[in-house]
A = this chain, B = another copy of it.
Amino acid sequence: MQFEFQNPTRLIFAAGALARLGEVVRRHGKRALLVTGGGSVKRSGVFARAVVSLNAAGVTVIECSGVEPNPRLSTVLRGAELARREGCDVVIALGGGSTMDAAKVMAAAVYYEGDPWDMIAHGQDRQRLPTRALPVVTVPTLAATGSEMNCGAVITNEQTTEKSFVMAECLYPVAAVVDPELTVSVPADQTAYGICDLITHVTEGYFNGVDGTPVQDRFAEGVVATALEWGPKAVADGNDLEARAQIQWASVVALNGWVQIGTDAPFPVHMIEHVLSAHHDVAHGAGLAVVNPAWMRYAAESRPERFAQFAHRVFGVPAKWSDPAGCAQEGIASFESFLRSIGCPTRLSELRIGDALLARYAQETVRIAHDDQRRLPGRPALSEAEIVNLLRSAL
């Protein structure tokens, strides 16, 4: 276990914290590019409240709305150009993961020389990471992505149908204003997808990381246990602010690095899902709900003890040392049952994805991320044929 880590984001977590947005932003700039998806934050009045807080603090707002789900490179370019033209000195992301990811890459694209797509890992010989960005303040309106307090972003190149990620230190937001009240209006299905997303963030590190990280194991198990306890309450009653707060907090720590630190894990489930949602109109969390259990069943065959530990500690499956594989599969079945109980799909058919293009999905996944034997990194590393089999098992 060895690592280097620094997460400099200032975190402000409180019901009602939106009212402090202006004060927080004003420490970093006075001309803000305010990035949003557009629709829901305007309908809910959150956009208007944000602008009131910002103006009261003396911050001028330049609106950049219309960030789509699975945010596109063209949107990033549009936002960066607007920020440059308007002389913005700070970027605010008000929305879900797509909005936050787009805003982070816009903030870096303002300074980036050359094609911003080169920032994104997509199988090119040499990814050119950004080294400088405008300060970003995130205001998540959904509990899911963890993007509010990390240095990652996922962008889709709509011309090449590639969806992939960038991680760079300059992308850490300077501040995250996390207000669980903003998630109260999220519908039940999106709430459930967010819960699957946050769980998958920690299971990726747990199952694909290096050996010998017991503290991180416990932290990951704790995040999943919290999601199992509070997730159904948030889905059942969107107005349950306590449940909303617990799920949102779990989603922050699920991907702010505290759980993954030192695990050095690739994210194969995410890589496979990214290809699906690059091709289909699929919510990221819903795609993960299909891919993750199928991936777990596959991966458990080569490492049953690890999955048995998860089953035992998180789902209370009795430890059966004589049959770790059985214990592992029982845990995975419990996980899938949980996902179904909160309303997640767990089959490709529910996403209206058939078997016609499975080989292509596998090929594109491996093109974007592969080891020297052209396998998708993970434990185990997967060949294209294995990815096809895995997806077929989830039809």
Contact = CB atoms under 8 A, between A and B. Distances in A.
Interface of A: 1-15, 17, 212, 214-215, 217-219, 221-223, 225-226, 229-230, 242, 245-246, 249-250, 253, 258, 262
Nearest to A254: B215
Contact of A5 (B11, B223, B226, B250): B11
A6 B11 contact: yes
A245 B218 CA distance: 16
A3 B7 contact: no
Given A219-B222, A262-B13, A246 B214 contact: yes
Nearest to A6: B10
A252 to B, nearest CB: 9
Q: How many chain copies? A: 2
Given A214-B226, A218-B226, 10 more contacts: A3-B13, A3-B14, A4-B12, A5-B10, A215-B223, A215-B226, A215-B246, A215-B250, A218-B221, A218-B225
A218 B218 contact: yes
15 contacts: A1-B245, A2-B17, A3-B14, A4-B13, A5-B10, A5-B11, A6-B9, A6-B10, A6-B11, A215-B249, A218-B219, A218-B223, A219-B222, A221-B222, A258-B258
Nearest to A3: B13
A229 to B, nearest CB: 6
B212 A242 contact: yes
Contact of A222 (B3, B6, B7, B215): B215
B11 A4 contact: yes
A315 to B, nearest CB: 14
Contacts of A225: 214, 218
Contacts of A17: 2
A6 B6 contact: no
A179 to B, nearest CB: 10
Contacts of A226: 214-215, 218
A222 B253 CA distance: 15
